[in-house]
Structure 1
Amino acid sequence: MAKQVTAFVKLQCPGGQATPAPPVGPALGAHGVNIGMFVKQFNDKTGGPDTKGMMLPVVITVYSDRSFEFKIKSPPAAVLLKLAAKIPHAKKAGGDVIPADSKKGGKYKGFTVTQDQVNDIAKKKQADLNARDLEHAARIIAGTARSMGLTIVA
């Protein structure tokens, strides 16, 4: 007999660094899932140098017998664009890392990405985007870059 799906849980966890603390613990604990097992499996799959520490969306399918399986999606386009544009992380309490005039209203003016970088990001994200081909995926990523205030250069 096939397992019956009881829930889909969508989370964003840092690659290789997930812990049973919120948001993972409460979200999975409410469905009776073994949190420690999920954390161990997730960290094992995402502990590589290219994903470690990067926020990764994950969709967890919970079954009626409290077993689960999960699918790791590609990182958000905005995160990949920030890495490509070499935008430094802003400090939460203290001095500004980003120049005062470059970040205004959530925009990153003054930073640029190349069309090749946009195409590379589109290749990574194509499976998770609603795009018919690579060119369309690149246009979606370029739109995200423009909405962030990034300039796309040839």
Structure 2
Amino acid sequence: MPKKTIKIVVEGGNVKPGPPLAPTLSQYKLNIGEVVKKINDATSQFKGMSVPVNIDIDTDTKAFEISVGIPTTTSLLLKKAGAQEPSGDPAHKKIGNVSMDDVVDVALMKKPSMTSKSLKSSVKSILGTAKSIGLTVENKDPKDLVKEIDEGKYDDLLSKYEEKWNKGA
């Protein structure tokens, strides 16, 4: 019973039965329409976001399972900001603003895939992504907030979420 896993990144709820997915699936003689429908159903709550998906295929029986990962940090931040795409010039062109609560929320969602040991370090990592895509946080440069976190200015806010973080979000 040989198994094969195909790893792809798709736009949530908007997978089309064409290249590059269709040729890959046809190698395993799968019903492409059925696979696409299952992926779209499984990713519908992430509409418009980039989502990693694994398709596990039993090459003997042609049975398959879809497992959906967590959207990219960039996709989650863009959704929180109501922006469509990252800034092409994040140093000069800002595309939106998010709250510190939004940043913490993204850090909690991304916990399973992050290597950070603490909520504080995860939040600082998310702030780095926010800066790189042209977002402000609390109407400030995310780099300034990293300094403020190091100074302890957000310890009260972070402690509110610490229990969720320790439980695995």
What TM-score do you get using the length of structure 2 for normalisation?
Answer: 0.66
Aligned partner of residue 13 in structure 1, secondary structure: strand
Question: Who is 1:82 aligned against?
Answer: 78
Aligned residues: 137
Runs of 4+ residues over 6 Å off in structure 1: none
8 A Cα contact 2:78 2:85, kept in partner: no
Structure number with higher strand proportion = 1
Question: Who is 1:25 aligned against?
Answer: 22
Question: Who is 1:135 aligned against?
Answer: 120
Aligned partner of residue 21 in structure 1, secondary structure: coil
Alpha-carbon offset, residue 107 of structure 1: 5.6
User: Which of the numbers 33, 54, 74 marks the counterpart of 1:59?
Assistant: 54
Q: Deviations over 1:28-56 (max 9, x none)?
A: 22333332221122222233xx4233332
Unaligned runs of 5+ in 2: 139-144, 146-169
Q: Deviations over 1:75-120 (max 9, x none)?
A: 1111111222232459xxxxxxxxxxx742x667333322211111
Structure number with higher helix proportion = 2
- Percent identity over the alignment? 34
Aligned CA RMSD, in angstroms, stands at 2.6
1:150–1:44 CA distance, 2 compared to 1 (3 A): closer
Distance 2:26 2:122 in 1: 36
What TM-score do you get using the length of structure 1 for normalisation?
Answer: 0.71
